[in-house]
Structure 1
Amino acid sequence: MSKTDNRRAFIKKSVAFGSYSIIAGGGLLASPDANAEWLAETTSTDILQQALKRLFKDQKIIESDKISIQIPKTAENGSSVPITVSSSLNNVESIAILVEKNPIPLAAKFEFSQDLEPFVSARLKIAESSAVAVIVETNEGFFTASEKVIVTPDGCEI
């Protein structure tokens, strides 16, 4: 075997080992059974609380009547629920929309520059009847409002 062949073999093995390390370290080789078991043991409230903790780092979130949420009270099709959010709070930096009982609660997050009006419109996928919470970040803190949405049976399959 020549020096060139040895170098090529070394490079191939190094790239393969490095790729495997990245995949394993990133959790891409995690067992789907273990994830399903964890999900079954964790309640939707726990998942929502964990998402809030990750997103907002245990910041105090205050109820506010200055956040307006337009969303149907009953959704026949949970795979496409329209929502419109606006706020009269000053200096809005971001708006996050979370669906309590979805497997991944964070449905959307929008960042704003100071020149933009805090208004967003989207369509949500809602797995089952649950609360939809909106969290608005301003330079003065975090504010929230929520609405309950009832999804009719067979309305959404996630």
Structure 2
Amino acid sequence: MKMMFRNHISRRHLLQFASSAAVCSALPVVTTRPMSATPAMLASAIRDLVGEATVKVGKVKLEIPPLVENGNTVPMTVTIDSPMTSDDYVKSIHVFNEKNPQPNIGNFHLGPRAGRAKVATRIRLADSQKVTAVAQLSDGSFWSGSVDVIVTLAACTEEVP
């Protein structure tokens, strides 16, 4: 028993495919890179949070390694010196950066029953930059702490000249 295989591609289908390929190859390839935040955007984001209030330096301990090889998973811990009682507690913690596409990394809301004024997570950093944490206390005051972080590039992502 002899079997024959026939190719069912008609001339019309072949021409349609060829013209589609030609049109697609003529289109420009557009890649967009998200706009990075700037130090001015960092200051503006903090001003939007606190309004006219004064931000004091202190009480906020921001722990981030000063040198990280991979900016995709950077460990971060923010601790605020507070007794966390019903009369004196941390209401919120806000973390900002100066070079990621968005200046706000995260917002954490706490109450007196949180026990400790501490948050720990991993963040992404696009480049070497300053990271700032601002805490709002129950008395309405704002406190901050900052850390400069150097992000190095892994060898596989370096650009070859």
The two structures have a TM-score, normalised by structure 2, of 0.66
2:121 alignment partner in structure 1: 122
- Deviation, 1:101, is 1.4
Task: Mark the runs of 5 or more structure 1 residues left unpaired by the alignment.
Answer: 1-32
- Deviation, 1:106, is 0.8
1:97 alignment partner in structure 2: 95
The aligned length equals 117
Distance in 2 between residues matched to 1:53 and 1:87, nearest whole Å: 20
1:27 alignment partner in structure 2: none
Q: Which has the higher Rg, Structure 1 or Structure 2?
A: 2
- Deviation, 1:45, is 1.2
Task: Mark the runs of 5 or more structure 2 residues left unpaired by the alignment.
Answer: 1-31, 83-87
Q: Find runs of 4+ consecutive structure 1 residues off by over 6 angstroms.
A: none
Q: Does 1:70 find its partner at 2:69?
A: no
Distance in 1 between residues matched to 2:103 and 2:61, nearest whole Å: 20
Distance in 2 between residues matched to 1:105 and 1:92, nearest whole Å: 22
User: Per the alignment, do residues 154 and 55 of structure 1 end up closer, same or farther by CA in structure 2, a change over 3 Å counting?
Assistant: farther
CA RMSD of aligned residues (A): 2.2
Distance in 1 between residues matched to 2:154 and 2:105, nearest whole Å: 20
1:51 alignment partner in structure 2: 45
2:144 alignment partner in structure 1: 144
Deviations 1:92-111 (A, max 9, x none): 10011111211211101100
Distance in 1 between residues matched to 2:137 and 2:52, nearest whole Å: 16
Distance in 1 between residues matched to 2:145 and 2:57, nearest whole Å: 6
Bigger helix fraction: 1
**CA contact 1:86–1:118 (8 Å) conserved in 2:** yes
Distance in 2 between residues matched to 1:50 and 1:113, nearest whole Å: 26
Distance in 1 between residues matched to 2:138 and 2:66, nearest whole Å: 31
